[in-house]
Chains A and B, each alone.
Chain A
Amino acid sequence: MKVTMRVNGQTREADIEPRWLLVHVLREKMGLTGTNVGCDTSQCGACTVLMDGMAVKSCNVLAVQADGADITTIEGLKTDGAYHPVQQAFWDNHGLQCGFCTPGMIMTSIDLLREHDNPSDDTIRRGLEGNLCRCTGYENIVRSVRDAADKM
């Protein structure tokens, strides 16, 4: 069946089976491979994208559920060649090592910062509970989100 969604500001269509997950449509039909599949059991958050502004795990949403929705992936964050403040803060504060979890971390952080413009470290840690990083020990990730909050 056909689904239509607005992805990073562009209207995109895909012809899919109902069992296709949003992450598969983004990666395999639309070529947006910045969104990673980590655990595939909706634990790790690497596949997080924004759906109508809310952070969701795209490996746990059917693409048909996203029919008509507005989706933002990591590829949609740059404006006029400049990184999104959260992307820049992860860069500046070395909020990553291997980088696999980073797109999901950034998307969840954007959702979090929309709710809390000046979050405490505790709020950041709780907000990122659904995103696992196996490299960093999280310290620089928390620092990155705080830095982004200061600059946004």
Chain B
Amino acid sequence: MYPASFEYYAPTSVSEALALMAKNADARLLAGGHSLLPAMKLRLATPPTLIDIGKIKDLTGINDLGDKVSLGALTTHCQVERSALLKSVCPLLPEVASHIGDRQVRNRGTIGGSIAHADPAADYPAALLALGAVIEAQGSGGKRNLNADDLFTGLFQTALNANEIVTAVHVPKTDGAGNGVAYAKFPHPASRYAIAGVAVWVKIENDSVANIRIGVTGAADHAQRAKKAEAALQGKPMTDENIAGSANVAADGLSTMGDIFASADYRAHLVNTLALQALNQAHARAHGWH
């Protein structure tokens, strides 16, 4: 299968890419191409112009910025999965990356591409919500930062403007005492996309939950936080009873979707079940029990 014909550009800087975007309003950006190219081969997407940002060096690299870590938009899932820095200071991200697709997909797919594509069943959005990540985007008017909470707005829709490029992702360090993270996922057996996935970051102080964020993917038309489940645990000790009470309301307030693979009710049930698993694991890790 071939994609339909398109004009191809391979800029080597962000400013060059932005200039090309300004001149080609219908252009699509190509990074790893592991969502866009399959859609183009099936002619579900027929962009007249592709701007391949895969050769822009400024968009690569994982850097320690003190209290946070910055990942260039072109960082591949495999680089995240194997990053010694991330494994040590932000282990949720490599854990989630290891669940994406398969080895060959992880070798090519990028974090910026995944964010901009905003597949409702992608793994990263759950982690970015749980971590309260900040997404850096650059447009013709300059750079701006978007909170993950505000980024995912609908089915394959984000708060990014059409003329913006995701340039980097900033994630906090979660390696201090009392921090625990976990990701629980029920993958589609063939595609490995999440039928549902729940990511948790909890910080425990004086035996009580000082801060908790729970991100859910796969269940609704876009990734969202499970705010009721967070509120159910905030300020409380993580007893089995409190954890179960939180997990039981994880899907409340999410408009879960049904399709040929799983009904909306089943997805809601999965979200609660996966929340229980992720909360228990994050709790154990926060205490260093594993």
Contact = CB atoms under 8 A, between A and B. Distances in A.
Given A19-B4, A19-B5, A56-B108, A64 B10 contact: yes
A42 B190 CA distance: 11
Nearest to B76: A54
B87 interface: no
Contacts of A131: 102
Given A19-B3, A60-B108, A43 B190 contact: yes
Contacts of B192: 129
Given A129-B102, A129-B103, A64 B8 contact: yes
A57 B33 CA distance: 11
B5 to A, nearest CB: 6
A55 B41 contact: no
B108 A61 contact: yes
Interface residues of A, number: 32
Nearest first, the 7 A-B pairs at minimum CB distance are A130-B102, A18-B8, A129-B102, A54-B107, A130-B104, A19-B3, A57-B104
Contacts of B102: 45, 129-131
A19 to B, nearest CB: 5
Interface in A11-50: 17-21, 24, 40-43, 45, 48
Nearest to A58: B104
B101 interface: yes
Contacts of B237: none
B34 A18 contact: no
A82 interface: no
Interface in A62-82: 62, 64-65, 67
A147 interface: no
Contacts of A57: 104-105, 108
A56 B77 CA distance: 13
Given A18-B8, A61-B33, A64-B10, A112 B103 contact: yes
A108 B6 contact: no
A130 B6 contact: no
A18 B6 contact: yes
Interface in B89-111: 101-105, 107-108
Given A19-B5, A19-B6, A65-B54, A108 B104 contact: yes
Contact of A56 (B6, B30, B104): B104
A48 B52 CA distance: 22
B108 A18 contact: no
Nearest to B1: A40
Contacts of A130: 101-105
